[in-house]
Amino acid sequence: MTLNLKRGISGAGALLIIATMFITIFTVSRVTAQETSGSGLRISPTRSELSLVPGDSNTIIQTVKNVTQNPVTVQPVLNDFESDGVTGEPKLIGDTTKVSAYSLREFLTLPADFDLAPSEEKEVVVSVNVPENSSPGAYFGSVLYRASPQGSGGDGQVALVASVGSLILLEVPGDITEKIQINDISAFLNKGSGSLFTKKPDQIGVEIQNLGNSFSQPFGKVSVKDWRGQEIFLYEINDTEPRGNILPDSTRLFLNDLFNVEVKTVNGNEETTQTSPIKWPGKYTISGNISHGSTGEIYTVNSSFWYIPIWLIVVLAVLLAGIIGLSVFLYRKYVTKSTKRNK
């Protein structure tokens, strides 16, 4: 499947924009951690993925540690979450009366509240039981561990010391729909996308929408070519371990740095330098070949952008002003001579 995303602009369009900028100048003078700690708790792992058929069960072992110097009481709480629609980061649903269609509330049994002494850690068990009538697809939630000073509940006040969570992603096999849609592929500068840049863009972004009923982990290659068709940059999208997920009915923007990284050893010390692969002004084309799941379907997407630095705009503006001035001068000179001859 090939998609040409109309983010690029033609050469004539670029010249028109340059002319507009010229007038304006002279007139107005965008890896999941395996261990996370809050202000008082540390939990590991922070993400668990399971695949269980209806009627099956399993357990998740999590380690919770009190990193404060005070004893605390820890309360496990299950929260539904949704994607933030951009980075794929989970956004907890604060309204406890709102139950997500992908909620794990009927699947999980949480441990009871427990106490932790200073620097003490404890392994807790989260039980997962998939009901016989469960529909195939994705289910997800966050087990949030809330810590409060021991005895703080007796005075009618709530003093939360920490609140850290662990994501649980469950897939129930069966009639799984695997379908994605590539909404956009474009260049970014300072987290903003565009088609015309006066500074070299620093990132490439691919926005993908999950139209299926389970998790999607897209993968593939994205390349950048210059106006000569020469490839100047190539990278693998979603190249993490484990790969990032797109939740069902959500969109995620995968951003990758547009830099070549070189590591040198100088006087026994490693030095890392980042250089842009974009060397010259002109039109650049972004191409992506992206797949997902087990379907084997490959989505080919293309878009383009222009890099025209300020110095080039100034040079072109000066040349344009010179051409206009010379044309006016020659026109006046010719008209003056013609008028004298007619007299």
How do residues 123-168 score in pLDDT, each as one tens digit?
A: 999 999 999 999 999 999 999 999 988 866 544 444 444 678 899 9
Lowest mean pLDDT among 2-11, 145-154, 276-285, 334-343: 2-11
Q: What was the pLDDT predicted at 290?
A: 96
Q: What was the pLDDT predicted at 141?
A: 93
CATH number of this structure's domain 2-30+177-308: 2.60.40.10
Whether the predicted pLDDT of 70 surpasses 50:
yes
Q: Residue 236, Cβ neighbours under 10 Å: how many?
A: 11
Predicted model pTM: 0.77
Whether the predicted pLDDT of 302 surpasses 70:
yes
Common-topology check for domains 2-30+177-308 and 36-172: yes
pLDDT above 70: percentage of residues in the chain:
82
Distance CA 117, CA 69 (A): 8
How do residues 195-204 score in pLDDT, each as one tens digit?
A: 999 999 999 9
Rounded to 5 degrees, what are φ and ψ at 178?
Answer: -110, 110
Whether the predicted pLDDT of 28 surpasses 70:
no
Averaged pLDDT of the chain: 84
Whether the predicted pLDDT of 192 surpasses 90:
yes
pLDDT above 90: percentage of residues in the chain:
59
Q: What was the pLDDT predicted at 158?
A: 44
Distance CA 95, CA 80 (A): 9
Mean pLDDT throughout 88-92? Answer: 81
Whether the predicted pLDDT of 40 surpasses 80:
yes
Q: Are strands 2-4 and 299-307 parallel, antiparallel or unpaired?
A: parallel
Q: H or E segment at 334?
A: helix 310-342
Mean pLDDT throughout 327-336? Answer: 79
Q: What was the pLDDT predicted at 327?
A: 86
In the block, residue with structure tokens 């995620």:
252
What is the largest distance, in Å, between two alpha-carbon atoms of the chain? 109
Q: What's the CATH architecture for 36-172? A: Sandwich (2.60)
Whether the predicted pLDDT of 171 surpasses 90:
yes
Q: What was the pLDDT predicted at 211?
A: 94
Q: What was the pLDDT predicted at 126?
A: 96
Whether the predicted pLDDT of 68 surpasses 50:
yes
Q: What was the pLDDT predicted at 96?
A: 67
- Listed by start position, the domains of the chain span 2-30+177-308, 36-172
Lowest mean pLDDT among 17-26, 89-98, 211-220, 297-306: 17-26
